[in-house]
Chains A and B, each alone.
Chain A
């Protein structure tokens, strides 16, 4: 009896202390918020903070800092700080001079004039030969290991042939240094987006000293770079730090002195840390704010909450060879029975845009306006439950079904994907009366099943490699390497091939629009769900962070205000 009493007492104490702590905490937070509000109101002009150290988190450690081997968005973030390509993409998404001061374009021939004051971090000048060296390294079949993104350089004349070992003489490849500061590039076909591609990391120059040292890109002492920052610390698994370079030609425009990157995988921890003022920015693209926290931070940190549309599409793909989705009416019925607005408002909650087409906003069309604004995706199809029911019935009749075969939707394991799958299968149940089983699969298993067309409906997503509709459209050509729909349409192939060979912007645009209409409106080869957004939290004192059309982030010109 006595024992249980003291137990109770103890528990009560624990609870009381807990409540007290929680109460104290929330008071703190309110005070903090109102204080920072006052500060913001008082400061009329921008005043730089004395300490220009930016603190961010990368949710995965970049596997390498070798531009030829890089493949992921984390590496992209750091490489952008450390390297500079021929051009760089400015805050408006336009190509601005990088190492190249100017360039002339003549059909398939590009001549880049390199600035004379561009230097490597060890003081050596950056020359046209450094680009030739780097590109040869990417394309060479002898590079160990093979550069996975070598195909980004296939636009260059004979680039693919050299990479595949069909020709062995690199001088036949369309890249040449005519002198120290002039780089001539010859392409296979007119490629309107080539200039933008030269800002991508696979095209970065590499210092020729790396030829004899395989491990150069893992060691801060050995990394020679040509960008605004140099690698100063890399404690594996813990932190990466880059510091401002004294040898960068445009160092006067760089205000940050250091970028400190922690390597924490958990979105929840990242958010806690951000709210604890240990990070200056959190969320996309280097991390992810947990979905269930989005409505909370949206309210509590309204000034710091940032949403920006990025050029990626989230969709469910139908296997055109699997029953019952070999029938176009059934595909349309499934697509029309989903309420996308409700889904983005109630489930994904990150301000995503309901998608009725495939090419996302952010991708530019012929007029210089977004492709999506030129060609409204609402004209492809609309959500309509009655129509969907009718189409389902017709489709079932055509196939002679009295009852639909069992349907399974697969997605790769992830909390967000699970919520979406649950919501959509629920909509199908309510609107069409169809039971769809949902099944999560580990990433590798999932990829394999999807690539082997071993599914009925699968989650899918695609992001832009460059700013042109082609990056979305050419993947669905018959037997294309990334075509995991089983989609085969000769008419579609013809339109895309024409666009590939053409330099006429209007004709390309028309072809893309026709092809997309065929793909979505006529064939409903996949079911668009939403266009992605980049959701991040940024302290109000942090300025100049640039998230580009594709969602890649550029911190080079960021700066920190007094706070």
Chain B
């Protein structure tokens, strides 16, 4: 369970996540391992860079759902704010929140990819 412990250290509510997966730790981990790939494919940074705000909102929205279900709390909270700000028509603030969460996101990705 090294992976779950590490994620907990990064602020994830893994107990809640495990409960959501009906106590099935193997499945929980398997789904967690799909997250880095999803984050890379769901390119929010690229959408911001291209000024595609609608696209950025949809991508952030998809990641909000997935990270929420996985209880990767810091990312879930970050994407929730990004979506809310974009929806409220505050793209600069949204971008700032997004930039602020990239380092923890990279830590999460590294942690999952490194995990046994």
| Chains A and B are bound partners | no
A-binding residues in B (CB < 8 A) = none
